[in-house]
Structure 1
Amino acid sequence: MGGLLRYLFGPGKSEEHVKPHLVAAWSGPAQLPLLEPPTGPTGHHDIRNLARLLEQPVRAGRNPPQKFVWHASVRNHITDRVLNDSQWAHIAAEMVAAVGIAPHDDPDAVRWVAVRHADDHIHIVATLVRQDGETVWAWNERLKAQTAARDLEQRYGLYQVGPVDHTSHRRPTAAEQNKSHRQGRPEIPRDRLRREVRAAAAAAVDEDDFLSRLQAGGVVVRLRHSPTNPDEVTGYAVGLPDHHTSVGDTVWYGGGRLAPDLTLPQLRQRWGSDPGTHPRGAARRSGAQHRADAFREATAAAERSARHLAEDPSSDGDHIASLAYAAADLLASTARAFEGRHGGSLTDALEIFDHAAREPHRRLPRHPHAAAGQLRAMSRLIAAAGRLTSEDDTTAALQLVLRMSMIADNLANLREAQERLHQAQAARQAAEYLHTIAANATATSAGVRAGAVPGRTSSGRRQQRGRIT
């Protein structure tokens, strides 16, 4: 508790903490002046008394947990107005009540405080032992806190984030990030594997083709078989040859741990919904001299799909979903053609667009739009054509990127009409990002020199840039 409070009442990592102070506590507003950590001659806050009071129930508790500190930050959107301390105090009380650690009118609940050191957020700190000595467990705390936040957004007239829809992929954990940093990895394994699996799925025609592409890309693959029918493959996991546990075992990631739509059943359903597309035949037709033509053909298909999304906003939900999924595959192959395996600006845009394209709760369209099959066929054609090698290739490819920004913009309108606010925001960001990439590259000496990629230096090293999240 002491270490956390020292950080919250300290200057922060970059002197970003301004006038840290309490806005709420378990004992009510009248006791705040007594609980406020005093400032010493050096300007530092003495948090020892506050830490001792918060930890008293833990020391007196019956078999307290080893990890007894509960911490949550509550942050407003950048467009929200600045709330005063009283409003933040109410929000903090609602949050601890919602997660069940300090219900309203419960004098024996846990001890907690809310610390404010910036205009836009507070930190709530509590111990998980009630004042009557019993341990309290914050079951499903994230879901409960998010539900309370949606209610508070409406009550205060703040930016409404929207309900959880399970369309975002899992982010790397702190442990994964720290391990990658210690090992000097340029990229977190989970992120690299998701990119490899996405590209392979977008280019593959079936399961065997998918697995072959993964192995060709240096990815280790393990299949999961049915316990009742050993010959039936029910799933897969991927890993990197040099990514191991402490005992030397490969660290495996199932498709669903990479993204909600990358499980094997979902991929099978998507491959099965595109009859008549044969990328191996496309590969035979697409030599280097035909690469620009492949992008022009894909641009025409993307433009037709953008019109479908724009002209029929009340169209069947399956049609929208199938077009969005297929557009994501086309963008995946385009990003790989531009940037190769190491990613770049287009790959970043793909990460955002993927979120906008997914259906809630891993649902896949049962009745896909006819244009979705055309988009996926173009995805396979571009994957077969390979990396860009000439200015003509790049110019044609940038026209496709521009059409993909139109698809993203139209998808954002549809997601707003569906009241899926997370995805609407992601689609809008992807549209802006794609349009900027195409416009900037086109403006620099008729696009990009042969072999160069937007978002990279001429040597191929990624430039520093802001990531849209």
Structure 2
Amino acid sequence: MEALLTQPLALLGDRSFRQPVWHLPLRAAPEDPVMSDGEWARIACEVMDRVGLAREGDLGAVRWVAVRHAADHVHIVATLARQDGGRPDVWNDGYRVRDACRAVERRYGLRGTAPADRTAARRLTRGEMEKAVRRGREVPSRTFLQRAVQTAAAGACSEGEFFQRLQDDGVLVRLRFSQRAAGEVTGYAVAVRGDVNEDGRPVWFGGGKLADDLTLPKLRRRWTGADDFGPARSGVGPLDGRYMSARTKRVLVWSAVRRAADESGTTTEFFDRLRDGGLLVKARYSQTSPGQVTGYAVAFPVERDGVEPTWYPGSRLADDLSLSRLHRRWASPGPPHAQAGEHDELTPEERQAFYDDAARAAAYATAQIRRYLAVSPHAVQDACWAASDALRVAAKVTGNRHLHRAADAYDRAARAPYGRIPAPTPAGDALRTAARLLARTGVIKNRAVVSTVLLIANFVTLLDTIAELRHLQQRQAQADAARRAAAHAREARPAAERPVSQSPAPSAQARLAMAGFPSPWAPLQQDLSRSSAPSDPTRPVRSPRRGR
């Protein structure tokens, strides 16, 4: 048998593959029916035909054999040398194998498996996993960097802010510049501090090596008006005001004006920073001295045509933000940015407003997905993708380990097939705005101050809806990922908000015994949380008293 399989290798000579043996195991699921030898033989022939190594009627195809070791699986072994002296095509054979397996599953009624749509995460190598174990790390470097990049991209409003967030999280960042246009950034790579190779250099991972949607060109599509690498913008950035309350808009405007004032030294520079940050600026001029600016007002960018923006005078935002107070401050000695960063902390009420807006955005996305659930399930792919951003940022700012697990589990359910970037939709924009709002709140130091009950509850409903959507799209692997994420998110709710597990239904014997009584009855439930002592089985159980 071995001699017959290896004979065609002599015809190839030096053109032979370095590893000329092609091996493919095929296994049925435990719930699948047991198939006969003839059925397994037909399955093996169909797989080899669809893969292209041994098409039906091709007398010069490769030689192969199928061996059945057990009732539920076979092994196909082929020699990568055609009998006519040619080299077989094995490029991307894994995708053809996946398509062949799915065709076999449909024909024989076997359990369906996921298609090769490139939505799965890149598989870790054995060396990466063993290296993490040796160094005592919880996860390999690739997994850590993927989560860090996803979180930074979700919370950033611009390219510069994205790189700044990575550096603030302790991630090493290396930019790749264009060889044609000087100063143009064309890509990036990230590394974990302390993770070095044999030469003592950091082990770098490009964005495309972490996930298909983390390349710099695809990340830039998330940010409207993304700037080049440089200082992070101080304004509101690409935040959509349609999904924010009036209180949240006022806080964002106040924060942007505060930062612009801290980083400026003159009125002109101050107004320019406000406009660069995406705010509308209206100057107020003196009635006695033409050309003299006596005040100003700022507004959030207009969301819809025909809608008048809400203007906020500087003195209404804060007493020390009036133009006269700013002039005295800039005229005082010392660098203009000496007081920068002193007023960035949000009050508990302001932080709660951001969380409430994020919860409303999740509810809005859920309603939009349900609207298109049966009519056009592919029209809400952007919302499924953006839900990952909101989950990642919420997990970071709340520090909830269950939300971290939910974000990790949901990762595959978010991606579109073949790495495509979906077209923006209102539901997706709402979730991305929610992620950026949560990122601006920072990590909660006192979790008792901010309530996350509504946010987590809306996340659970959103994930359940996405799981149903993926099931209708016949993407079982993505549906399972969304269900696991929803299960983790349910654990993130406070204990008082979780549903109490109900007692099991009475057995058939119990129901038969109940039929002899004038009113239904059931044994009293023992409260094991209050008393750990076992109940006395000889003690009679008294029925509860009825109201007199």
Superposed displacement of residue 425, structure 1: 3.8
Once the two structures are superposed, residues 416-443 of structure 1 have per-residue CA deviations (whole angstroms, 9 ceiling, x without a partner) of 4445454334333433443355487955
Aligned residue number for residue 13 of structure 2: 62
Return the letter of the residue paired with 1:125. V
Number of residue pairs matched by the alignment: 391
Structure 2 CA distance for aligned equivalents of residues 162 and 198 of structure 1 = 24
Match of 2:431 among 359, 375, 378: 375
Question: Secondary structure in 2 aligned to 1:306?
Answer: helix
Residues 333 and 382, structure 1, Cα contact 8 Å, conserved in 2 = yes
Structure 1 CA distance for aligned equivalents of residues 33 and 140 of structure 2 = 36
Matched, 1:281 2:255: yes
Match of 1:88 among 15, 24, 40: 40
Return the letter of the residue paired with 1:354. D
After TM superposition, the score normalised by the length of structure 1 is 0.71
Structure 2 CA distance for aligned equivalents of residues 235 and 252 of structure 1 = 12
Provide structure 2 residue ranges, at least 5 long, that are not aligned to the other structure. Answer: 226-237, 242-251, 257-342, 501-548
Residues 34 and 71, structure 2, Cα contact 8 Å, conserved in 1 = yes
Superposed displacement of residue 73, structure 1: 2.6
Residues 80 and 159, structure 1, Cα contact 8 Å, conserved in 2 = yes
Residues 309 and 411, structure 1, Cα contact 8 Å, conserved in 2 = yes
Return the letter of the residue paired with 1:200. A
Aligned residue number for residue 159 of structure 1: 111
Name the CA shift for 1:181/1:130 in 2 (closer, same or farther; >3 Å).
farther
Superposed displacement of residue 196, structure 1: 0.3
Aligned residue number for residue 174 of structure 2: 222
Residues 288 and 385, structure 1, Cα contact 8 Å, conserved in 2 = no
Match of 1:404 among 449, 459, 462: 459
Question: Secondary structure in 2 aligned to 1:332?
Answer: helix
Match of 2:160 among 208, 218, 234: 208
Residues 321 and 364, structure 1, Cα contact 8 Å, conserved in 2 = no
Once the two structures are superposed, residues 358-391 of structure 1 have per-residue CA deviations (whole angstroms, 9 ceiling, x without a partner) of 233443344420x444433332232233334456
Considering fraction of residues, name the structure with more helix.
1
Residues 220 and 241, structure 1, Cα contact 8 Å, conserved in 2 = yes
Return the letter of the residue paired with 2:489. L
The CA RMSD over aligned residues, in Å, is 3.6
Question: Secondary structure in 2 aligned to 1:236?
Answer: strand
Which stretch shows the higher mean deviation, 159-168 or 248-257? 159-168
Match of 2:417 among 357, 360, 366: 360
Residues 194 and 259, structure 1, Cα contact 8 Å, conserved in 2 = yes
Which structure has the larger Rg over C-alpha atoms?
2
Structure 2 CA distance for aligned equivalents of residues 280 and 72 of structure 1 = 62
Match of 1:323 among 368, 373, 383: 383
After TM superposition, the score normalised by the length of structure 2 is 0.62
Name the CA shift for 1:51/1:177 in 2 (closer, same or farther; >3 Å).
farther
Aligned residue number for residue 349 of structure 1: 406
Residues 402 and 491, structure 2, Cα contact 8 Å, conserved in 1 = no
Name the CA shift for 1:186/1:163 in 2 (closer, same or farther; >3 Å).
closer
Structure 2 CA distance for aligned equivalents of residues 67 and 280 of structure 1 = 65
Question: Secondary structure in 1 aligned to 2:13?
Answer: coil
Match of 1:298 among 315, 336, 358: 358
Superposed displacement of residue 88, structure 1: 2.4
Which stretch shows the higher mean deviation, 263-272 or 78-87? 78-87
Q: Which has the higher contact order (CA 8 A, sep 6+)?
A: 1
Return the letter of the residue paired with 1:380. R
Superposed displacement of residue 170, structure 1: 1.7
Aligned residue number for residue 468 of structure 2: 413
Residues 348 and 449, structure 2, Cα contact 8 Å, conserved in 1 = no
Aligned residue number for residue 334 of structure 1: 394
Name the CA shift for 1:115/1:175 in 2 (closer, same or farther; >3 Å).
farther
